Amino acid sequence: MSVYDFKVKAQDGSEVSLADYRGKVLLIVNTATGCGFTPQYDELQDLYEEHQKDGLEILDFPCNQFAEQAPGSDEEIHSFCTGRFGITFPQFSKIDVLGENADPLFRYLSENTKFEGFHAGPMGLILGSAVKKMDKDYKNNGNVKWNFTKFLINREGEIVARFEPTENMKKVKAKVEEAL
């Protein structure tokens, strides 16, 4: 099984096969518009502009499960992201990444990666404390912990890396460039 076996919903509700991205390097991200990590949209857009021509696609999946930080409609979220951050990479319909209603793609990504911890620093400490309240066993499962968790997929559709939201974007960029 690979990510190419999954179908996701576009903003307009139509079904999109991830097989359409076969041969590309994918960075799959769950996002939110009202999160402390929302400024990462700037860095993601810069990465996309630099490497789309090389075969990179960033797939953005808004999620409102973490402190209700993506409360708007798909249209409102998209308007915010294009207006404020100028994003041009594909943005899909809002989804759940946890629980019984978790999107099958994110269930697959979570079940096939490990949580390696939050990057050291104040945000890592704050996030660790918040996540522990939601999931006492958070350190021992692969569930998505917060907004802006990123999964790097190689050209064969295999997961090659997972980045927590506190990970330095320079490290994310280096791994993307390695996959390209």
The predicted-structure confidence for 74-98, as pLDDT tens digits, reads as follows 899 999 999 999 999 999 999 999 9
* Assigned token pair, 157: 């559709």
Instruction: Report the C-alpha gap between 108 and 122 in whole angstroms.
Output: 30
The predicted-structure confidence for 131-178, as pLDDT tens digits, reads as follows 788 888 888 888 999 899 999 999 999 999 999 999 999 999 999 999
Query: Is residue 81 among the annotated active site residues?
Result: no
What structural domains does the chain harbor?
A: 18-150 (3.40.30.10)
Does pTM surpass 0.85?
Answer: yes
Query: Catalytic residue among 35, 47, 102, 105, which?
Result: 35
In order of 7, 9, 28, 29, 154, the CA distances from 14 in angstroms are 10, 6, 19, 20, 25
